[in-house]
Structure formats: structure tokens, C-alpha cells
Amino acid sequence: MIKITAPLVAAIALLLGWEYAVTAWDIKPFILPAPSAIAAAFSSAAADLDSAA
């Protein structure tokens, strides 16, 4: 159980820290987009990506 939990917690902490840093320091999206922006772009282009695969 710990072999799965520790990396999962670390990945979630990394994504949350990344999201916080981008918004707190007002980093421009063309320099470093937030993980939520990447997920939104991926989900909006999912149909195009699926047909290209």
C-alpha cells in the first residue's frame, strides 16, 4: 500500500504546488501554464487527439 500511496501523494503535492506557484506569482501562461490550464486544453482537444492516434 505504501508503494502506491507515497508516489501518489508526492505527485498531488507537486501539482498543487505548481498550481499555487503559477497563480501566486502571476506567471504568464506562455511561460509556464497551470496544470488546470493544461488539463482544460487537453480535454477540449481530446476528440482531435483521439482521431489522430
Q: Which tens digit of pLDDT belongs to each residue from 11-25?
A: 999 999 999 999 999
Domain extent, residue 35, equals: 2-52
Tell me the whole-structure pTM to 2 decimals: 0.79
For residues 23 and 46, give the distance between their C-alpha atoms in angstroms, rounded to a whole number.
25
Going by pLDDT thresholds of 50, 70 and 90, the confidence category of residue 53 is low
Q: CA 19 to CA 38: how far, in whole Å? A: 11
Cell of 48: 482531435
Residue 22: CB atoms within 10 A of its CB come to 19
Based on the structure, what is the number of domains in the chain? 1
* C-beta of residue 14 within 8 angstroms of C-beta of residue 6: no
Of residues 2 and 13, which shows the higher confidence score? 13
How far apart are alpha carbons 48 and 26 in whole angstroms? 30
